[in-house]
Amino acid sequence: MSKIINQMPPSFSQKLVTHKPSLQEDNRRFLGFTIGDSLNALIPLMDLRATIKISLAEILPVPKMNESLLGIINYGGKATWVLDLAHLMGGSGYLSKSQLTTGMGMLFQIQNETVALLIDRVGTIETYDLQQCLPIGEAMFADRMRSFLSGYFIDAEQQSRVVIDIKQVIHTII
């Protein structure tokens, strides 16, 4: 069974309610993660609904679908699509790593569907100034990958952090 991992103790979550981030703060916060072995990526935190641990054995394959759609899982009593983000972006894909039995799912609500992007691990919440978001150059990535990116930031260690365009990712598979 998929398990929510981002739950906090009641006393901690009650303290969080006292500070509601402004829209400007929400637009600046991103969840960091890695795609494949080395691509550092970000997803706008305001788009994220939850992060869950997914057992690969729980994914029910659905025939005749986009090969990046691994299948569905039961999450909260509803069918939730599981998408291999690395494969969709042109990488070798999550299931090619035969030693893995679980992964992390980042859940997004798109229209009436819940979609989980399957990745290796979730990183930290990071804050960036949207004014500092740089455009993706044509020579930086292959066309397939570039179509899913909305820009990138340079972090404190001078590493690039690409921003995933979640609407474009979902639009491609629906």
CATH code of 73's domain: 2.40.50.180
On the question of pLDDT at 57 being above 80, the answer is yes
In this prediction, residue 11 carries a pLDDT of 36
Could you tell me if 45 and 92 are in contact, meaning their C-beta atoms sit under 8 angstroms apart?
no
Q: Please give the tally of structural domains in the chain.
A: 1
Report if residue 9 sits inside a domain. Answer: no
Report if residue 151 sits inside a domain. Answer: yes
Which residue did the predictor score with more confidence, 174 or 148? 148
Report if residue 42 sits inside a domain. Answer: yes
Q: Look over the chain and give the mean of its residue pLDDT values, rounded to a whole number.
A: 81
For residue range 109-167, list pLDDT tens digits in order: 887 888 999 988 889 999 999 889 999 988 888 888 888 999 999 988 999 999 999 98
Report if residue 22 sits inside a domain. Answer: no
- State the average pLDDT over residues 1-6: 42
In this prediction, residue 27 carries a pLDDT of 65
In this prediction, residue 113 carries a pLDDT of 82
Domain housing 85: 29-173
Report if residue 24 sits inside a domain. Answer: no
On the question of pLDDT at 15 being above 60, the answer is no
In this prediction, residue 8 carries a pLDDT of 36
Measure the CA–CA gap between 103 and 169, rounded to whole angstroms.
19
Report if residue 83 sits inside a domain. Answer: yes
In this prediction, residue 4 carries a pLDDT of 43
Measure the CA–CA gap between 52 and 49, rounded to whole angstroms.
10
Only one residue has tokens 């960036």, namely 128
Measure the CA–CA gap between 44 and 47, rounded to whole angstroms.
6
Report if residue 135 sits inside a domain. Answer: yes
Confidence band of 96 (pLDDT split at 50, 70, 90): low
In this prediction, residue 92 carries a pLDDT of 76
Measure the CA–CA gap between 125 and 33, rounded to whole angstroms.
9
Report if residue 21 sits inside a domain. Answer: no
